[in-house]
Amino acid sequence: MELTTVWFALIAVLWVGYFCLEGFDFGVGMLLPVLARDDTERRVMINTVGPVWDGNEVWVLVAGGATFAAFPEWYATLFSGFYLPLLLILVALIVRGLSFEYRHKRDDATWKARWDLALVVGSVVPALLWGVAFANIAAGVPIDADKEFTGSMLTLLNPFGLLGGLVTLTLFATHGAMFVALKTDGEIRHRARALAVRTGSLAAVLASVFMVWTQARTGNAVTAAVFSAAALALVAGLAAARAGREGWAFLGTFLTIGLAVAGLFLGLFPDVMPSTTDPAFSLTTTNAASTPYTLEVMTWVAVVFTPIVLGYQAWTYWVFRKRISVRHIPTPVLAEAR
């Protein structure tokens, strides 16, 4: 197998990991005012992701760095053409990170309410815009012979792109609700499980339309099988949630997101950014790649450090695996757990 194909697959795996893990972070953040009834419950929700949210963001940093090193032409076209939505995502992630760090700095209701709003906005914006971005990458965008994006922000806000954004928004909300149900106990656990079923039903409808549309535009037999598996995983997850099996329910949404993202990359290959102007102008794993020597060095670095990173993150999740509830939140509190 050529190293260009290997690195395309590795980048796909990084994005799968990012959406599966950061997806429930976004879901918890956007559902904060919906599930929590008071400040104590809001702190419970924040503490479910407190120990892991920053580690989950590492996946997108590595995915961006790997794209820059392995496929510089892809990186250049993507980050110049999608500059505004990616900038909005970056600002939202910064605001979201600040909300985790600064919310507990003052014991003032107004102060906390403003940072809670920052957390909600910082979760909704990326959840929506990542879907818009990836839908457009999968469908293709106007690229000229110089490998430059010739569209605008309005080009990206097409019906297919907006549907992709709504799919990620509702899927991440469902994923986050499943995670809250899995990680908490008491009333908030039951509310989260019930909400997951409702949002999941909406997500199932939107995702089904999106996957059928994607299959019709760029799909093949392999993507059809992967998208079908994603749909079955979501249905199974919702059934598990109704039965009170939070672990299986969370696994269902986890697999749904992972399989859906994998399906997009499978439909994309061997292109990395198809051109709607002329297929001859499309960026591929061949014409967008770095030199073979660069890819070889990167491969050895990945072989050494990837198991270390995965092992550390797995250990983190194991350490913070237990449920929390309002009884675990002491009162008064000078600083909240992260």
pLDDT in tens, 269-298: 999 999 999 999 999 999 999 999 999 999
User: Does pLDDT of 329 surpass 90?
Assistant: no
Q: Is 128 exposed, middle or buried (0-12, 13-18, 19+ CB in 10 A)?
A: buried
Residues in the chain: 338
* CB-based contact 256:233 (threshold 8 Å): yes
Encoded tokens for 41: 């419950």
**3-class SS at 149?**
strand
**How far apart (Å, rounded) are the C-alpha atoms in residues 148 and 83?**
12
Q: What is the mean pLDDT of residues 16-38?
A: 95
Residue type, 206: L
**How far apart (Å, rounded) are the C-alpha atoms in residues 195 and 246?**
13
Looking up tokens 């260009």 gives 4
Per-residue confidence (pLDDT) for residue 335, from 0 to 100: 46
- pTM metric for this prediction: 0.93
**How far apart (Å, rounded) are the C-alpha atoms in residues 1 and 323?**
44
Strand blocks (E) in 24-83: none
**3-class SS at 23?**
helix
Q: What is the mean pLDDT of residues 15-28?
A: 95
Span 243-267, pLDDT tens digits:
999 999 999 999 999 999 999 999 9
**What distances in angstroms separate CA 68 from CA 15, 293, 295, one per listed residue?**
14, 15, 11
Span 66-81, pLDDT tens digits:
999 999 999 999 999 9
**How far apart (Å, rounded) are the C-alpha atoms in residues 126 and 49?**
17
